[in-house]
Amino acid sequence: MDYLTCDQVKFSYETGENGESREVLHGVSLGIRKGEFVALLGHNGSGKSTLAKHFNAMLLPSSGKVYVDGLDTMDESLKIEIRRRVGLVLQNPDNQLIASVVEEDVAFGPENLGIAPPEIRRRVDDALKAVEMYDYRLNAPYKLSGGQKQRVAIAGIIAMQPDCIVLDEPTAMLDPRGRTEVLDTIHKLNREKGITIVLITHYMDEAVGADRVVVMDDGKILTQGTPREVFSQVQLLKDHQLDVPQATELVWRLRSEGYDLPDCVLDIGECVDALEPLLKSSSGDSYVCP
Amino acid sequence: MFVLETKDLTYTYGAGTPFQKTAVDHVSFGIEKGEFLGIIGHTGSGKSTLIQTLNGLLRPTSGSVLLKGKDIWAEPKKIRSVRFQVGMVFQYPEHQLFEETVLKDICFGPGNMGLGTEESEARARQAAKFVGLDEDLLNQSPFELSGGQKRRAAIAGVIAMDPDVLILDEPTAGLDPQGRDRLLEQISQYHKVRGSTVVLVSHSMEDIARYADRVLVMNKGKAVMLDTTERVFARGRELEGMGLRVPQITSILLYLQEKGYPVHPVLTVDEAVEELRPLLKKGRVRHGS
């Protein structure tokens, strides 16, 4: 069974005083397996953040159902349980850190759960080690770089021992190095701890590393599949003003001019491998899709 | 002559305390009038401190900043007028909106410069046009606007002062690719039509590659490269060593170049298609697809 289930989820925001509302999710059905790494794409206003906030009962569907590990998010008495299972990381690291010492910040969540101090100590240390911030445990958060702050925010969630982490554009404010740090951390947690990841991002190269890519458009799922399946639909994505990785776009453009190129290229390495056999001075064989 | 120039500029935080840190270390460079300059560098490289010295928000510990050849700190009491001539758009500028209407908010800068209501409003309307803000939004409260519209209104507030140099610190952070492209396209239009000087600080190498004429690279407080965008990104491996990247497309061409193929590390997909087409074998057309 799926770990996260959305069944015909509709959601409306109230817009006016006289009960007017605007529907932003038009019946979304989606299942996410335990341990899966899902990237959620779509431009602003596509409903992707709204959908993600349903995964830990921050928002409740206007109609339809959301289940987390079989728990119905509409059941108020299960809210704490659901939030312990699914943690949320937001875009701006400065809005998420509250304590003046890194390890106190990480301890905030487990303290709220009423966990015994020795256990909190253990969890905080483990969480900081998992994001490779243990050496900074006694530092002041404001002195850290953006990527380090974001990893501390992630550690604060790991200390609650969640099954799933939802990250809403966690790298939007970071420099290239910070982005790599956070991305590597997320992948490691997914791989080594089996934590289910839902990553909302505008960066196509971040989505390439996911097990599955779900593209939202206008409150509905436009398309979904493996990164290779999704990014091979270049025309569809372009029609909806979405980007594809530059490597994918280059090969697609040359391919549409008639050159013998595959439709499966996702990253720099694959692009170079696909182009090389076609270059005049080389004698290599045609590229075969992985 | 440079419109804005730094000479041996150094800025040290907490000078004389145990926490002393030199964020900008003997930086000398000039910005040409009318150019579109990109500034890149990872967090802590000193680029934010640098741009804050450029309009007199921070006073150099040593060295100087020259605006049209004149040291901006020659007469400290006149530093305010420097801030009108070097307009600064901070990160998340929409957090600074506060007036009752969008129009009043955009008028705030010109008003501060001592311009009358009529002149301020005329400038505000023109600035709004540059950033693509609809006329009918001007009488709304800034808080009723969408995130992207708020960002535009805040940028219009700086443009309305008609600065000689417009500095934008990560103007597209948090916008989606569509919003990002639209905003940068408008800034580029403003740059072309007004002929004013634009400085863009960004983590997005793709954006820098598309718009900047020249790029300044900051690393550990020092200006380590200043050259045309093509030449800076051609040094991709050095940039990677500083925690920076080059655009993905440039990286692909750099790999091909390293493998001995006669390609230039160009900056956009369009250019890459042109670059590769003459090198590809004809007659290798895929059939049935």
Q: Each residue of A130-187: pLDDT tens digit? A: 898 999 999 999 888 888 899 999 999 999 999 999 999 898 878 888 888 899 999 9
With 80 as the cut, is the pLDDT of residue B283 above it?
no
A93 in a structural domain: yes
* pLDDT classification of A51: cutoffs 50, 70, 90: very high
Once rounded to an integer, what is the mean pLDDT over residues B120-137?
Answer: 92
Angstrom distances, CA of residue A64 to CA of A13, A54, A72, B131: 15, 11, 11, 40
Q: Are residues B64 and B73 in contact, defined by beta-carbon separation less than 8 angstroms?
A: yes
Q: What is the pLDDT of residue A286?
A: 74
Percentage of residues in chain A having pLDDT higher than 70: 98
Report how many domains make up chain A. 1
- Sketch the domain layout of chain B as residue ranges: 2-246, 247-281
pLDDT band at B287 (very low <50, low <70, confident <90, very high): very low
Tokens of A83: 């939030």
Q: Is residue A153 part of a domain?
A: yes
At B284, the pLDDT band (50, 70, 90 cuts) reads: low
pLDDT in tens, B189-214: 999 999 999 999 998 898 999 999 99
A→B interface, C-beta within 8 Å: 43-44, 91, 145-147, 169, 172-178, 202, 205, 241-243, 245-247, 249-250, 253-255, 257-261, 263, 268, 271-272, 275-276, 278-282
pLDDT at A74 > cutoff 80: yes
Looking at residue A181, which CATH number applies to its domain? 3.40.50.300
Q: Residues of A with CB below 8 A from B206's CB?
A: 246
- Provide the CATH number for the domain formed by B2-246 in this structure: 3.40.50.300
Nearest to A261 by CA among A269, A270, B97: A270
pLDDT at B288: 44
pLDDT at B144: 86
A137 DSSP 8-state letter: T
Q: Is A74 a domain residue? A: no
pTM score, whole prediction: 0.83
Q: What is A240-282 written as a DSSP string?
A: TT----HHHHHHHHHHHTTB---S---SHHHHHHHHGGGBTT-
Average pLDDT, chain B: 91
For the segment A247-284, what is each residue's pLDDT rounded down to a tens digit?
999 999 999 998 989 988 999 999 999 999 888 766 66
A112 CB-near residues (< 8 Å, 6+ apart): none
pLDDT per position as a tens digit, B231-255: 999 999 999 999 898 999 999 999 9
Q: Cα separation of A80 and A82, whole Å?
A: 5
- Cα nearest neighbour of A203 on chain B: B177
Check residue A282 and give its pLDDT: 67
Confidence of residue B285 (pLDDT cuts 50, 70, 90): low
Cβ <8 Å between A257 and B279: no
Give a yes or no: residue A201 inside a domain: yes
